Amino acid sequence: MKKLVSAVIAFALVIIGITTGFVIEHGNSHDKTGEYAVELNEIERLIEQGDTDTAIIRTKQMREAMRTENADNINISIIIMGSICLIFLLSVGGYCYFTVIRPFGRLTGFAERVAQGDLETPLEYERTNLFGKFTWAFDSMRKEILRARTCEQEAIENNKTVIASLSHDIKTPISTVRAYAEAMEMGMSRAEDREKYVSVIIRKCDEVAQLTEDILAHSLSDLDKLRMHPEVFELNGFLEDLLADLNTQNDIIFEKPSYTIYMNADRNRLSQAVENLITNARKYAGTNIDVHINCDENNAYITFHDSGEGVPDEDMPFIFGKFYRGKNTNGEKGSGLGLFIVKYIVCQSGGDVRARNNNGFEVTLTLPVYEE
């Protein structure tokens, strides 16, 4: 509002200056002072000569001429001032329209669109007009509402991802339990192996129970990520026992290194990652699975390699994405979460995952070693 008042005062001063110039110029252009002086001298000379009648007539004529000229000057001044005032009012009205009315109209339309749920259309604003700061604040509010809605949608998607990933992880121990149970039912196991099978089945049931608790905890506390519970353990022995439990089809080839490697990670989550990789290799490759461990001063490298067809090059950049399934699934059922879960667990453990085609498909887990 201060800008508007300052603009009106400045414009009024300009108009006054222009009006004064017009009046002065008009007065100068019609100045007949010299003519009236000559006329007065003629009247005085007639009076001196005794011709008073003529002097009176000439005096009346001069007065009438002066009155007519003054009236003309007043009329012209009124016309000029009226025109200038009209121009001034039109200018003020135009200024008010472009600086107040039109921006307020745009702001009203924008508020109506926001009320109808349209948060994508931005509000164009200029900080130099009267509503500049207000429109900027209004558009910032729109962005905050849009950001809040986006975060809410992301939270919903995260919830779906967690539920889907936990449900996916339940399938792996269930399939192991089923395989051992079928072997025992068909009498394919020896008497001395049955105790081992029962122990594996019990352990896998415990894993299912733990995953079920994760689903319950997620639904109760609205978790957006799986919880990790790291502990120190020896990697080679852990992996040997885990792969022995998973080797129901005698298709896993693993040679335990002679040295020891200690990790500080979540054993259950790392078991899920390994089981997902084994399950994927069986489902999509159907070949033997070679598992190797290498180590340097900082990291341990666990490599899983099958002899299948591998992953198409165009799918390789996306295989760790949520719900992504490649073109070579060959009708196999799946949720597209296996490798996503593997990468998440390994990254949460401070490591990384790499995949490549190398006469088959090869996945390498990089995990930091534990140093006391």
| pLDDT single digits (tens) 316-365 | 888 888 767 776 666 666 666 778 888 888 998 999 999 999 889 999 99
| Residue 92 is assigned to a structural domain of this protein | yes
Residues 233 and 114 in one domain: no
C-alpha span between 219 and 370 (Å, rounded): 33
- Domains identified in the chain, total number: 2
Domain of residue 46, residue span: 2-118
Are 236 and 372 part of one and the same domain? yes
- Looking at per-residue pLDDT, the higher value among 250 and 115 belongs to 250
The answer to the question of residue 270 being in a domain is yes
pTM (whole model) above 0.85 = no
Give the distance from CA 141 to its chain's centroid: 14
Q: Is 160 a domain residue? A: no
**Residue 214 reports pLDDT greater than 50:** yes
The yes-or-no verdict on residue 83 having pLDDT over 70 is yes
**Total residue count of the chain as it appears in this document:** 372
Is residue 241 domain-shared with residue 369, that is, in the same domain? yes
Long-range contacts of 188-196 (CB under 8 A, 24+ apart): none
Output the pLDDT for position 123: 65
Of the residues 88, 118, 148, which one is the last residue of a structural domain?
A: 118
Q: Which amino acid is at 155?
A: A
pLDDT range class, residue 89, cuts 50, 70, 90 = confident
Give me the pLDDT at residue 220, please. 43
Residue 149 lies in a domain: no
Mean pLDDT of all residues belonging to the chain: 76
Domain membership of residue 290 (yes or no) is: yes
For the domain that residue 288 is a member of, what is the CATH number? 3.30.565.10
Higher pLDDT, 275 or 14: 275
User: In this structure, how many other beta carbons lie within 10 angstroms of the beta carbon of residue 90?
Assistant: 10
Mean pLDDT of 132-156: 72
Residue after which a domain boundary falls, among 118, 152, 186: 118
Greater confidence, 222 or 117? 117
Is 292 within 8 Å of 303 (Cβ atoms)?
yes
Judge if 236 and 360 occupy the same domain.
yes
Strand ranges, E, within the chain? 231-234, 252-254, 262-265, 289-295, 299-306, 352-357, 361-368
At residue 294, the pLDDT reads 93
Whether 135 is covered by a domain: the verdict is no
Instruction: Report helix, strand and coil shares of the chain as percent, to nearest 5.
Output: 65, 10, 25
pLDDT at 263: 92
The reply to whether 95 falls in a domain is: yes
260, part of any domain: yes
Quickly state the pLDDT bin for 262 (edges 50, 70, 90). very high
